[in-house]
Amino acid sequence: MASQNSGERDAEKAPQEPPQGGALVDSEPSRTIQGFPWVVVCVSLYVTCFLYGLDTTIAADVQGSVIAAFGHVSQIAWIGAGFPLGSVCVILFLGTLFNTFNMKWIFVGTVVLFEAGSALCGAAPTMSALIVGRVIAGAGGSGIYLGSLQYFAVMTTEKERGFYMSLIAMFWGLGAVLGPVIGGAFSVSSATWRWAFYINLVIGAVSAPAFLLYLPAIHPMQGVSVRRRLASIDFVGAILGAGLWTSFLLAFTMAGSQWPWKDGRTIATFVVFGVVLVLYMAQQYFAFLTTPARRAFPVHLLRDRTQVLLYASTAAGTTTLFVVVYYIPIYFQFVNNDAALMAAVRLLPFIVIAVAVNLVSGAFLHFIKIYKVIYIVASVFLIAGGGPLMVYLDPNSSTGLIYGLTILVAVGTGLSMVTGYTIATLTVKPEDTGAALSLQNVSQIGGQVIALAIASQIYQSTAIKDLSVALAGKGFSQTEIQGAVAGAQSFLFKSLDGELRDKAILAVTNAMQMTFVMVPVAAVVMKNERLFGGPVVAVGG
């Protein structure tokens, strides 16, 4: 088909060896899909990426309403973490499917899975059903995101790839930062929090005809029998990888906040995580029940220093985004007594700057050439904004100061969050493009899982301990304190006034300060002077 042939011609003209010195190389192939079909394909892919980003964070501001409906405060962390867990558990497996079967129908299948999960979330009769729906939606959403990246990697030229991929990141990022705002709006409206998930069904139904009629069918292994294609998939690696992320999140979500660190259940979950990690590493290294070329994880790219550092930098950029998006609204809820919607609206300065910087950096990456500079500049802004947030995020800080610091973080986040996707595809051989995208997806989504797990562990453990001290002897149960820390603070904080309320707010904001340690730490990952090695040179103009 035309799109397939176009992808093959692009691959033939791509550089056969990755460039050196942190610079990109010019190439001038042509793109065959033009005009109205191209516009329809682009718009449909970008809209679904927006939905994926939206669902990534929309739970941040509906948690209070969900707890009011179902109770079970102890399970609240899974509302947010279940979505990225579903994504990261299947992202490598889906990458294999996209490289093995007709990309169009794999993509359509993931859209259906995403919509099914959203429907279950909206109609959930219990907290457990909602969590299952979040995991299912996350699994489908990762296919939407990866499929969009795969399509643009195949259909675009090297010169324009940075721009089109930055638009994927822009729409995903726009959805991610608008998630709390839209979720908060639904949670306080007559539509209720359920429409925060039902909205995906409406937009998905509008986009469906575009996928079916205009999305090109690309066959990476055309002519190969289905049996041979199935035999090429590393099912053992896929299962172990899913088990690895599940056991990790279970251990770090439940330990400390729900189970004491010395509890047998806590110890058991960490033991299981360690065992699965060793099994996964051994299975991938020795290619057990698979072959080196068919392993689920692109192990061979770990020998490429640039790919490894891009992996770390993308995870770092993702960390800075989610720490701000999840904890700044909570800060304003406690300090200013903002409603969920108003607290989320206060993210708008961060949203506008992060999205704008990301779009500009993607559009000009081809002209800048020296991608090392982008990460150095990003790290400077992240340290300038994240460092002071560790100190000044307290009840007495002015709103203007918080806005200013988050804007600095937004610049660094916009520069670093997804730049690695474009660079990764341009610094590998053509046959490794899909593997490079998969590695970046694991970095971004896995970085989200790790960031949320660690930040939640820091915040909840510290806040519960300090809030218990501040409210000691006042008759509040541990469940009520946990509910306040988790965001359902109205049940407890409305009963507080005067000095006692001030002490409680100080205890919570001090815990928030500690989560922002992750921002400058992420910046340090990027700021290493030898980040990409070699001389800083410009190529092609």
For residue 495, the tally of other CB atoms under 10 A from its CB is 13
Q: What's the pLDDT at 30? A: 67
Using the Cα atoms of residue 379, residue 382, residue 388 and residue 394 in order, give the sign of their dihedral: negative
Each residue's pLDDT tens digit, 13-29: 444 444 444 555 454 55
- Using 50, 70 and 90 to split pLDDT, how confident is the model at 116? very high
More confident residue, 298 or 475: 298
Q: Do you know the residue count of the chain?
A: 541
Q: What's the pLDDT at 424? A: 87
Alpha helices in 432-496 (DSSP H): 433-470, 478-485, 490-493
How large a percentage of the chain has pLDDT more than 90?
40
The answer to whether 408 touches 384, Cβ cutoff 8 Å, is: yes
Which residues, in sequence order, are CB contacts of 283 under 8 Å at separation 6+? 236, 237, 240, 289, 290
pLDDT over 70 at 379, yes or no: yes
pLDDT over 90 at 172, yes or no: no
Q: What's the pLDDT at 29? A: 57
Q: What's the pLDDT at 435? A: 84
Each residue's pLDDT tens digit, 246-299: 999 999 888 876 788 889 999 999 999 999 999 999 999 999 999 998 999 999
The reply to whether 214 falls in a domain is: yes
The pLDDT of 421-443, averaged and rounded, is 84
The distance of Cα 45 from the centroid of its chain, to the nearest Å, equals: 17
Q: What's the pLDDT at 73? A: 72
The tokens 């794999």 sit on which residue? 106
CATH code at 469?
1.20.1250.20
> Residue 530: phi, psi to the nearest 5?
-105, 25
The pLDDT of 367-392, averaged and rounded, is 87
Each residue's pLDDT tens digit, 293-343: 899 999 999 999 889 989 999 999 999 988 998 889 888 888 888 877 888
pLDDT over 70 at 488, yes or no: no
The pLDDT of 368-389, averaged and rounded, is 88
The answer to whether 5 touches 220, Cβ cutoff 8 Å, is: no
pLDDT over 80 at 539, yes or no: no
The reply to whether 47 falls in a domain is: yes
Residue type, 503: K
Q: What's the pLDDT at 108? A: 96
The answer to whether 179 touches 325, Cβ cutoff 8 Å, is: yes
The reply to whether 125 falls in a domain is: yes
The reply to whether 91 falls in a domain is: yes
| Domain ranges, residue 125 | 2-234+296-527
How large a percentage of the chain has pLDDT more than 70?
88
Helix, strand, coil content of the chain in percent (nearest 5): 75, 0, 25
Q: What's the pLDDT at 83? A: 94
SS (H, E, C) 172-201: HHHHHHHHHHHHHHHHCCCCCCCHHHHHHH
The reply to whether 383 falls in a domain is: yes
The pLDDT of 492-497, averaged and rounded, is 73
The reply to whether 386 falls in a domain is: yes
Each residue's pLDDT tens digit, 210-258: 999 989 998 888 889 999 999 999 999 999 999 999 999 999 888 876 7
Nearest Cα neighbor of 441 from 169, 194, 47 is: 169
Q: What's the pLDDT at 11? A: 39
Of 66-70, 87-91, 373-377, 479-483, minimum mean pLDDT range: 479-483
The reply to whether 239 falls in a domain is: no
User: Mean of the per-residue pLDDT values for the chain?
Assistant: 84
255 pairs with which residues across the strands? Answer: 259
Nearest Cα neighbor of 158 from 378, 425, 486 is: 425
The answer to whether 309 touches 531, Cβ cutoff 8 Å, is: yes
Give the burial string for 105-127 (b: 16+ CB within 10 Å, else e): ebbbbbbebbbbbbbbbbebeeb
The reply to whether 81 falls in a domain is: yes
Task: Give me the number of domains the chain comprises.
Answer: 1
pLDDT over 90 at 499, yes or no: no
Specify the DSSP element, H or E, that contains 7. helix 2-13
